[in-house]
Amino acid sequence: MAGDGIWVFFLTVCVVAFHGALAELKFTVPVGRFFTYELTRETFQNDFEPLSKLYAGRLYDDPMMFKCNLQRFPDLPEWLRFTQRHPYDNGFLYGTPTSPGKSVIEIYAVNKRSYETTRQILVINVSFPEKTMPYQAEFFVKLREIEKVLPSPVQDEIKQDLQKLWDTEALEIVNVTNALDRGGRVPLPLAGHFEGVYVKVGSEQYFSECLLTVLAPGHRKQCTAGAKVKVPGGCNFCSIPSNCITWCKTELFDLTQQEPSPPAPTAGSGILEAGEDFDPPESPPSRDFFPDYLVTVIVPLVIAVVLCLLLAYVMFCRREGVEKRNMRTNQIQLHHHHTIHGDADELRDMAGNRGVPPPLSTLPMFNSRSGEGAPPLQSDSPTIPLILAQHDPYSDTLPRK
């Protein structure tokens, strides 16, 4: 029994090691070359139980989501990107490395039906390029999306068309970028609307005559004016309509004419050697803040005082006065104005001195039949009658029994 247990343990270790060896993939990519890796759902389906479900003779696959990150880090490297449009689609890791090094990528596949998880390790070794590509060109493919361009067959189709356009077979894809990452607008969710993809290629051979037409002043003028630029004669090498490029967004890059970037400074150890003295940098010279004080405080204060004096002059020194105004006004208009004021004052005096008693209807608790009014409201009265006399409006018309 002990021997059987040891044998089972040995088989388990071998199976785990075998799966670990299969789950680790290694790639070597030169600096400045485009890298793409497709995460196929069929590869990860083998780790899930059951592989698939069979109902009524139909095969149903499980939806799957991929999560990718740099080992011991929450995100991917700067040059690497991941995309997956739908849980039933494959995922893609793509990008162009900019510096040599080693990146260990952890890929997690999550089964959205059973929430099972499996892992795969991807090791990317970035090395120095064997050859440089000083001549590069970037093209815009309008009728494509990033997921439709990343598969290797589609890249080969685009590369073949560009080789005919460049008139050379020594052509390599440098980078592929989604138009949304370059500031493009999100298209409508309708058929015939695509995001667009930028494809950048490079070669050791100089640009062809078809590509040099992009640099012509007439071509740039037409693109700036918004006119529909036609394909130059004999330069239409687009075998598939969805892979055709937009000529107005084509750019050429000649790296031989660009100045090389200065080398990065080397960091020292930070420890002084024996016999050396620390020489700190000199303190900055003292600064006179009096001119700043004049500009910040005194000048606004002087402007405010001048504005106040100007306002006072306008408000008090430029007034015409009542006498001067009356002298300029027509006498008939002044007489009419004074007559209106005098009549209004006389009506106010008469209204204040009237001795006519107020009408009975304005008194409180007025009895319309007897004409009597209720006594004034007393604060010490325990009870106040609400109605002094009741009157039946039908008493005079209806016969009594």
Q: What is the pLDDT of residues 330-379, one digit of tens each?
A: 888 878 888 888 888 888 888 877 766 666 656 666 565 665 655 555 54
Mean pLDDT of all residues in 124-137: 91
On the question of pLDDT at 7 being above 50, the answer is: no
- If one counts every other C-beta atom within 10 angstroms of the C-beta of residue 291, the result is 9
With contact defined as beta carbons under 8 Å apart, do 105 and 7 qualify?
no
Provide DSSP, 251-262. EEEEGGGSPPPP
Band (15; pLDDT cuts 50, 70, 90): very low
Low-confidence winner among 17-21, 55-59, 308-312, 343-347 (lowest mean pLDDT) = 17-21
258-274 pLDDT, tens digit per residue, is: 776 677 677 667 777 77
Domain boundaries, the chain: 24-126, 135-257
β-bridge partners, 83: 92
On the question of pLDDT at 1 being above 90, the answer is: no
What lies within 8 Å, CB to CB, of 278 at 6+ separation is 272
Band (44; pLDDT cuts 50, 70, 90): confident
Band (386; pLDDT cuts 50, 70, 90): very low
- Statement: 24-126 belongs to CATH 2.102.10.10: no
Provide DSSP, 348-393. HHHHHS--PPPPGGGSTT--TTT---PPPP-TT-S---S-S----T
Alpha carbon distance 137, 255 (integer Å): 11
Alpha carbon distance 141, 247 (integer Å): 10
Mean pLDDT of all residues in 244-248: 90
- Of all residues in the chain, the percent with pLDDT exceeding 70 is 77
Radius of gyration of the chain (CA): 47
Band (387; pLDDT cuts 50, 70, 90): very low
- If one counts every other C-beta atom within 10 angstroms of the C-beta of residue 207, the result is 21
pLDDT of residue 53: 53
Of residues 350 and 82, which shows the higher confidence score?
82
On average, the pLDDT of the chain sits at 80
What lies within 8 Å, CB to CB, of 219 at 6+ separation is 213, 229, 247
Dmax over CA atoms of the chain, in Å, equals 140
pLDDT of residue 388: 44
What lies within 8 Å, CB to CB, of 241 at 6+ separation is 143
Of residues 219 and 260, which shows the higher confidence score?
219
pLDDT of residue 285: 85
Band (401; pLDDT cuts 50, 70, 90): very low
In the three-class reduction of DSSP (H, G, I as helix; E, B as strand; rest coil), residue 216 is classed as: coil
Q: Can you give the three-state secondary structure of 43-62, one letter per residue?
A: HHHCCCCCCCEEECCEEECC
On the question of pLDDT at 313 being above 70, the answer is: yes
For residue 359, cis peptide bond before it (omega within 30 degrees of 0): no
In the three-class reduction of DSSP (H, G, I as helix; E, B as strand; rest coil), residue 153 is classed as: helix
Band (384; pLDDT cuts 50, 70, 90): very low
Q: Which H or E run contains 316?
A: none
Nearest to 63 by CA among 88, 90, 85: 88
On the question of pLDDT at 11 being above 80, the answer is: no
Quote the pTM value. Answer: 0.59
β-bridge partners, 137: 201, 252
Band (84; pLDDT cuts 50, 70, 90): very high
Low-confidence winner among 101-115, 162-176, 274-288, 305-319 (lowest mean pLDDT) = 274-288
